[in-house]
Amino acid sequence: MRNTAIFHVECNSEELTISPTKGRIPADQKLIFTIGFVSYVEKDFYSEITVHIRGGKSLKMPVRACAKIPVIDIEEHELDFGGITFGDSKTLPLTVNNHSDIPAKLILDIREFPEFEIILPPQNNDDDVVSEIMVPIHEDPNYKDIENMNPEDIQDPLNEDEDEDEEADDEE
């Protein structure tokens, strides 16, 4: 007669994640373990995982991995937005190349710079993935509808005397 096996997994490596780490395996059933490996340095990895089975023999499973680091470069050495005035925006390309044979994940954290926005172009099956950086207009409720905005209604915030000069001209 076969019984349910109760197990827990022992792993001493911080670079490995194992799922599930404990559980039950019904009689005459199988269980698939998922093992993840993450390393931030290039190296050959070897470790051993021990599966302890209640009332039974412990099983040792060797785990081997080879961590490679992708070769990434950015074509543009600088992004020069030039003279952007208040309420203006400008889009510049940011080209990232992966010269390695492994996929890479790029994380661009610009949360500290709310004046920048990343706009991805429509995906095209023939092209590689491309990104764009855009400097959006000032977060003023008057500028929400840029297409319908009248340029004559925009006042220069640096020229506070503008209203007074216009009123004086109107009176004359």
pLDDT higher for 81 or 137?
81
DSSP per-residue string spanning 57-90: --EEEEEEEEE----EEES-S-----SPPTT---
pTM of the entire structure? 0.47
Q: Is the pLDDT confidence value at 28 over 80?
A: yes
The confidence score (pLDDT) of residue 142 equals 47
Whether the per-residue pLDDT at 89 is higher than 90: the answer is: no
H or E, element range at 7: strand 5-10
pLDDT value at residue 19: 93
Query: Of the candidates 115, 118, 133, which has an alpha carbon nearest to the alpha carbon of residue 79?
Result: 133
Write out pLDDT tens, residues 104-126.
877 878 888 877 777 776 766 66
All structural domains of the chain, each given as residue ranges with its CATH number in brackets, are 5-67 (2.60.40.10), 72-171 (no CATH)
Residues 56-64: contacts with CB under 8 Å, at least 24 apart: 56/5, 63/13, 63/16, 63/35, 63/37
What pLDDT is recorded for position 6? 92
Tell me the helices (H) and strands (E) count for the chain, helix number first.
1, 11
pLDDT at 153: 56
Cα angle value 143/145/151 (rounded, 5°): 60
- Mean pLDDT of the 62-90 span: 84
Ranges 28-32, 34-38, 120-124: which has the least confidence: 120-124
